[in-house]
Amino acid sequence: MNRSAMAVFLLRARHWSGFIPPAATGTVFGDVTTSTFLAKWIEQLALEGITGGCGGGNYCPGATVTRGEMAKLIRLAFGL
Protein backbone atom coordinates (compact mmCIF):
# COMPACT_ATOMS: atom_id res chain seq x y z
CA MET A 1 0.00 0.00 0.00
CA ASN A 2 1.33 3.46 -0.75
CA ARG A 3 1.31 6.37 1.68
CA SER A 4 -1.61 8.13 -0.09
CA ALA A 5 -3.88 5.10 0.21
CA MET A 6 -2.83 4.63 3.83
CA ALA A 7 -4.11 8.12 4.63
CA VAL A 8 -7.58 7.20 3.33
CA PHE A 9 -7.55 3.82 5.09
CA LEU A 10 -6.66 5.32 8.46
CA LEU A 11 -9.04 8.25 8.35
CA ARG A 12 -12.01 6.17 7.22
CA ALA A 13 -11.30 3.65 9.98
CA ARG A 14 -10.81 6.41 12.55
CA HIS A 15 -13.95 8.38 11.67
CA TRP A 16 -16.46 6.47 9.52
CA SER A 17 -16.67 5.09 6.01
CA GLY A 18 -18.47 8.17 4.66
CA PHE A 19 -15.93 10.64 6.08
CA ILE A 20 -14.50 13.12 3.57
CA PRO A 21 -11.93 15.69 4.71
CA PRO A 22 -12.01 19.34 3.66
CA ALA A 23 -10.21 20.53 0.55
CA ALA A 24 -6.43 20.52 0.57
CA THR A 25 -4.51 23.76 0.92
CA GLY A 26 -1.28 22.52 -0.65
CA THR A 27 0.73 24.09 2.17
CA VAL A 28 1.26 21.16 4.56
CA PHE A 29 3.90 19.16 2.67
CA GLY A 30 6.35 20.30 -0.01
CA ASP A 31 5.50 17.39 -2.30
CA VAL A 32 1.69 17.55 -1.89
CA THR A 33 -0.08 20.25 -3.89
CA THR A 34 -3.81 20.79 -4.17
CA SER A 35 -3.75 18.69 -7.36
CA THR A 36 -1.90 15.73 -5.77
CA PHE A 37 -4.05 12.60 -5.83
CA LEU A 38 -5.69 12.21 -2.38
CA ALA A 39 -4.13 15.49 -1.14
CA LYS A 40 -7.01 16.31 1.19
CA TRP A 41 -6.65 12.92 2.89
CA ILE A 42 -2.90 13.38 3.30
CA GLU A 43 -3.28 16.85 4.78
CA GLN A 44 -6.04 15.73 7.15
CA LEU A 45 -3.82 12.92 8.42
CA ALA A 46 -1.19 15.53 9.29
CA LEU A 47 -3.71 17.97 10.79
CA GLU A 48 -4.90 15.21 13.14
CA GLY A 49 -1.32 14.66 14.30
CA ILE A 50 -1.04 11.15 12.86
CA THR A 51 1.87 11.86 10.52
CA GLY A 52 4.67 14.33 10.12
CA GLY A 53 5.54 13.00 6.68
CA CYS A 54 8.58 11.13 5.43
CA GLY A 55 11.13 13.81 6.29
CA GLY A 56 12.38 17.08 4.90
CA GLY A 57 8.89 18.61 4.89
CA ASN A 58 7.60 16.00 2.44
CA TYR A 59 5.00 13.23 2.63
CA CYS A 60 6.23 10.93 -0.20
CA PRO A 61 2.68 10.04 -1.33
CA GLY A 62 3.72 7.31 -3.80
CA ALA A 63 6.15 5.55 -1.48
CA THR A 64 5.26 2.11 -0.15
CA VAL A 65 4.38 1.91 3.54
CA THR A 66 6.51 -0.63 5.40
CA ARG A 67 5.00 -2.89 8.05
CA GLY A 68 6.80 -0.91 10.74
CA GLU A 69 5.49 2.41 9.43
CA MET A 70 1.98 0.96 9.17
CA ALA A 71 2.12 -0.25 12.77
CA LYS A 72 3.22 3.19 13.96
CA LEU A 73 0.52 4.99 11.95
CA ILE A 74 -2.20 2.67 13.29
CA ARG A 75 -0.95 3.21 16.84
CA LEU A 76 -0.98 6.99 16.40
CA ALA A 77 -4.40 7.01 14.71
CA PHE A 78 -6.05 5.03 17.49
CA GLY A 79 -4.02 6.08 20.53
CA LEU A 80 -2.61 2.61 21.13
Task: Read off the pLDDT of residues 35-71 as tens digits, 9 standing for 90 and up.
Answer: 999 999 999 999 999 999 999 999 999 999 999 999 9
Q: How confident is residue 80, by pLDDT bands cut at 50, 70 and 90?
A: confident
Note the pLDDT of residue 79: 87
pTM listed for this prediction: 0.93
Domain extent at residue 65: 3-78
Rounded-to-integer distance, Cα 68 and Cα 12, Å: 20
Q: Which DSSP letter does residue 66 get?
A: P
Q: How large is the greatest C-alpha to C-alpha distance in the chain, in angstroms? A: 33
Note the pLDDT of residue 17: 84
What is the total count of domains within the chain? 1
Rounded-to-integer distance, Cα 26 and Cα 39, Å: 8
